[in-house]
Each structure stands twice: as structure tokens, then as C-alpha cells.
Amino acid sequence: MTPPEAPVDGSIASPGNHPPAVSLRLQTLTQRADFLRASRGSHVAMPGFVLQMRRRRPDETTDPEAVRVGFTCSKKVGNAVARNRAKRRLREIARLDLPEKGRAGHDYVLIGRRDATANLPFSRLRTDLDRALSRLHGPSA
């Protein structure tokens, strides 16, 4: 059996307004010092997570326009399985929303909450992230 031929003009491809995920890849925070600096910045607590944000100095990283994000869950969230599930959900909402709604030159840290991050509906987590970002960024000019 041979596969059907793909149209040359791309007529079957779904017209999306999202660029490829590779070009919008977020940089991940891995160094403890970055998490500590973000903890001294502004934060907002939502039902599903806590979001911390800070603006970086231009000389701190090789790419001053990058959006960087970190994820953490303490042992209060649960065992390793529960913590990993919560972090997977946080990574996904960040992947979907931060490239468009996050600001260049900022660091964001999402902190999971016990019995909430892993159990709330995914749409609620995305709505909470949108509200948290609008609170942290303030009114746009």
C-alpha cells in the first residue's frame, strides 16, 4: 500500500496562527541562583500555582531578549509521581502561553501547589496563568 500524495500547495494543512514550536522555545532556568533571584521579584498566588517574575539586567545572559522559565514543586505537593505530574502540567501551560504573553528579558518561576496543580482542570490553569501575567505586568500601555 502506498501513502496518498501530499498536496503541493499545502491545502490540507490546518491554517494556524502559531509559528513552529521550535522557534518559540523557552529557555529553562536550571541554576539555583536564578531561582533565588526570581524569588526576590514580584509574585502572585493563584489557586493552582504561584508565579514569580523578575526583570533581568541586560548583561546577565547571552540573550537579553529571551523569556526564561523555571518550574518547582516541593515535597508538600506529594510523592515524586505527584510532583512530576504537577511539573508536566506547569511546563505545558508555560509552553502554550508564555511565548506570546511573557515579556522578553524576564524570568518566570511557576511553583506547584498541593492538591491543586495536578487536579485542577487544564483550562483553569491556563486561565490562571493569563490572569497572573496580567497582574504582574500591570496595564499595558
CA distances from 30 to 1, 35, 109 (A): 48, 8, 11
Whether 141 has a pLDDT exceeding 50, the answer reads no
Domain assignment of residue 110, given as a range:
27-135
**Segment 45-73, tens digit of pLDDT:** 999 999 999 998 878 877 878 899 999 99
pTM here is: 0.79
Examine residue 39 and state whether it is found in any structural domain, yes or no. yes
Number of separate domains in the chain? 1
What confidence category does residue 22 fall into, taking pLDDT thresholds of 50, 70 and 90?
very low
Examine residue 57 and state whether it is found in any structural domain, yes or no. yes
**Segment 83-93, tens digit of pLDDT:** 999 999 999 99
Q: In the chain, which ranges are continuous DSSP H helix?
A: 32-39, 80-101, 122-137
CATH number for the domain harbouring residue 131 = 3.30.230.10
Examine residue 58 and state whether it is found in any structural domain, yes or no. yes
What confidence category does residue 8 fall into, taking pLDDT thresholds of 50, 70 and 90?
low
